[in-house]
Amino acid sequence: MAKTQMKNVLQSNDSNKEKAAYLWEYYKWHLMGIILVLLLSIYFTIQLFNRPQVDYHIGVLGPETTTEQMEILSNDLKALLDPEDQKGDMLVTVTQAGQGAERFFAQLAAAEYDLLLVDKTAFENFADSESMDVLQVDDIESSNLFTVPEDNKIIGIESNAIPYFSEHEVTSGLIALVPKNSTRNPETIVFFQKQGISLKIQKSE
């Protein structure tokens, strides 16, 4: 029907200007929809190719911090892990507790974090052996280890007992956790080994 209507308009005795005006009025929403879809497709394609590759990501739910402090943390992390064969970024992102918590947990659910740092309140509220890996840790005193009360399994480590974290004010006095959905456990083990800490991650069957 649309083709017939267009044919009738084009074959009418109206001026070209009138024909163009009619066709525009009739088809403008179709054209705008097509243009919008094309623009969105281009935008998401660009975002996909410009998205930085991340080889290791530490997520901190803690105090307010500055961009400069996060850059220092990320640079020190890269220097510690020394990933010569990796081209991706080493990231440490700090999300302020409170209003920013929703974003933090969304990224956690999306498996964007490989290691977490949270305060004791957050640890008590959400950390358990269902969402966090059970750890076997040597070279750290038991007083610096945090367990799940129900089954006495170790899932957390006092950040001050980890040299990299204790050297930065932003990451001191928190609890380190390994999320179960992380795909970079070997890198986490290396992170601790570089600091003289033997860590084993116990995966549940």
Using the Cα atoms of residue 202, residue 161, residue 123 and residue 54 in order, give the sign of their dihedral. Answer: negative
Same domain, 46 and 60: no
In the chain the first and final C-alpha atoms are separated, in Å, by: 62
Same domain, 41 and 93: no
* Structural domain for 97, as ranges: 54-202
Same domain, 30 and 107: no
Provide the residue type at 59 as one letter: G
Question: What are φ and ψ of residue 19, in 5° steps?
Answer: -60, -45
**What is the chain's pLDDT, residue by residue, as a tens digit (205 residues)?**
455 555 565 566 667 676 667 666 666 677 777 888 887 777 555 554 555 566 889 999 988 888 888 888 888 888 888 756 555 677 888 888 777 788 889 999 999 999 999 999 889 888 887 889 999 998 899 999 999 877 788 999 999 999 999 999 889 999 999 999 999 999 999 999 999 999 999 876 5
Same domain, 25 and 58: no
Same domain, 179 and 112: yes
Using the Cα atoms of residue 129, residue 200, residue 181 and residue 58 in order, give the sign of their dihedral. Answer: positive
